[in-house]
Amino acid sequence: MRIQFTLALAGLIAFNVNAKEPLHAYLSSGVEVHETDNMNRVEATGPNIRFFLKDKKILATAFVFKDTRNPYPLLNDFAEQFLKRAYASYDYQIFEKNKVMNNFANRKSDGVEYLVDLGGEKCELYLASSVGNQTYIFFNISNEVTNAKCASIGDKLKSVVTQVNESIAINDI
């Protein structure tokens, strides 16, 4: 009996040590951001999140959007609409566009990924993800130190999305 109690207590302690509190949560959307090996801090203001990555050259931000009045069943259309608004004041070209499956910490989600060329000088990755019925997460990933064209930096920006996504848990609400 004593051994079982000791094992149960050790298991409970191990679970509590490994379970990390969320760094930030959007309870009405079911979105939680947790610390990972590649990201240990976030700054959140309203629906905007800035991820602090180990790679200090990369800026990763997200915008969590919940639309209770007008659910967009077509992620593609909504992503394009938001992209046009986000880059309205820039001279941009879409270098590459892909439908993707995002692997969040605890579930997969459909997404649309764009590599956006800003005037031939800088490349940013814009990603729209559908999370649940009425919640969307829009990511923007860019290299803030080196101005590089999309052909040379696109793969690195895509790998950062994986790092950021593994910090996000999606809960049913």
Q: How confident is the model at residue 48 (pLDDT cuts 50, 70, 90)?
A: very high
Look at the block and give the residue holding tokens 């969040």.
104
pLDDT score of 28: 79
pLDDT, tens digit, 9 for 90 and up, residues 12-34:
333 333 446 788 888 878 889 99
Domain positions in the chain are 22-170
Average pLDDT value over all residues in the chain: 83
What is the Cα–Cα distance from 166 to 144, expressed in whole angstroms?
A: 22
User: What's the whole-number mean pLDDT along residues 52-73?
Assistant: 83
Percent of the chain whose pLDDT exceeds 70: 84
The one-letter code for the residue type at 116 is V
Strands (E) in the chain, as ranges, are 24-26, 31-33, 39-45, 48-53, 58-66, 92-103, 108-118, 122-131, 135-143, 168-170
Task: List the CATH code of the domain at 22-170.
Answer: 3.40.1000
pLDDT score of 66: 83
Helix (H, G, I), strand (E, B) or coil at 129: strand
pLDDT score of 119: 86
How many CB atoms neighbour CB 40 within 10 A? 13
Helix (H, G, I), strand (E, B) or coil at 50: strand
Q: Which two tokens stand for residue 21?
A: 């509190």
* Closest-CA residue to 170 (of 100, 110, 94): 110
pLDDT, tens digit, 9 for 90 and up, residues 117-156:
998 889 999 999 988 767 889 999 998 887 888 999 999 9
pLDDT score of 71: 58
What is the Cα–Cα distance from 153 to 124, expressed in whole angstroms?
A: 9
Look at the block and give the residue holding tokens 């270098």.
95
Q: Which two tokens stand for residue 48?
A: 């905007």
pLDDT score of 16: 36
Q: Answer yes or no: pTM beyond 0.95.
A: no
* Closest-CA residue to 105 (of 45, 23, 44): 23
